Chains A and B, each alone.
Chain A
């Protein structure tokens, strides 16, 4: 497997590209932008973006889809039936997807938004805006905050310390780091 991160300078979000060791179908997570750098990353490795996973439908994580779909015949996967008007395969917590060579477990992590999903691909977890290192996603109400913390504690309870977490914003982290240093997740309510 080849794995790359890409930073969007317009929305300051992270996209992640997973492809096979050699050429073939790739999975792209949260394309907040589809710019020349990301295109080069795909093309230089002779990947074809066949699948797009969307953690949640905030623009910083989906804005690149329109450009992407002009270049690649990609299938979209998200919590909703459509994203930016494009049809999506609707997925929910507990679903297991086999996309190319990748086994993907879908975990619901609502709170930051009602459609927030995390994706577990072996020892990698992609959390969108739900969790980033030392912080949790922004919420509008106490109920959303409670929902988010509950869903994140549930997520972390199923992960080994060495599971690598790749958030929608900010640097990578691990489940062990978040368990130990994330003040929001330390104390049960």
Chain B
């Protein structure tokens, strides 16, 4: 018994989406599924072992909700309100996040590696052991957040603010950073080996 089962279409290696036996690509009526998911996300407060890989979500208020061991990889998220969410293991890798706010959130083991993160707000949050490896961040703020043990290895950061943050053991190795503001943050406790400052 595992939380994520493979799509039942032969040779498909994607996981079946939440409450279905196929991946989003192989669903007969993906639009109808999206409608169902919008309603479910709006109504429910806690999400456990939910796979929504490749979904497109926009203009949703998910504030204060709880996500535990969920997959929203390869997705497109825009104008979502994640303020004050609690997350314990969420894969948002290789996704696109635009104008999403995570203000005052508790993000533990959240994976946004390989994602494009644009105009997002992660301020005043606990961002513990999160994975931004290879992420492309633009015009995004992490101000007044605790990023303990998070990783930005090989990431590309442009116009990103880390003001007054805890950067203890935060890993920026091999990252490319341009117009990144670390004012009042403990950069001496972070790793910057081979970081390229443009």
Residues of A at the B interface (CB closer than 8 Å) are 1, 3-5, 7, 12, 20-21, 101, 121-124, 133-135, 160, 162, 164, 170-174, 176-177, 180-181, 183
Contacts and interface: CB of A to CB of B under 8 A. Distances in A.
B124 interface: no
For the residues of B in contact with A, the DSSP-based class is loop
A5 B89 CA distance: 8
Nearest to B134: A181
Contact of B131 (A121, A123, A171): A171
B149 A101 contact: no
B143 to A, nearest CB: 21
A136 B131 CA distance: 15
B151 A174 contact: no
6 contacts: A3-B3, A5-B88, A121-B2, A134-B173, A174-B73, A177-B113
A177 B129 contact: no
Given A3-B89, A162-B14, A171-B109, 4 more contacts: A134-B174, A171-B111, A172-B91, A177-B133
B154 interface: yes
B174 to A, nearest CB: 6
* The 8 residue pairs across chains A and B that have the minimum distance between CB atoms: A134-B153, A181-B134, A171-B131, A122-B2, A177-B113, A134-B133, A171-B129, A181-B154
B71 to A, nearest CB: 8
Contacts of A7: 128-129
B144 interface: no
B26 to A, nearest CB: 15
B98 interface: no
Given A171-B149, A181-B134, A176 B3 contact: no
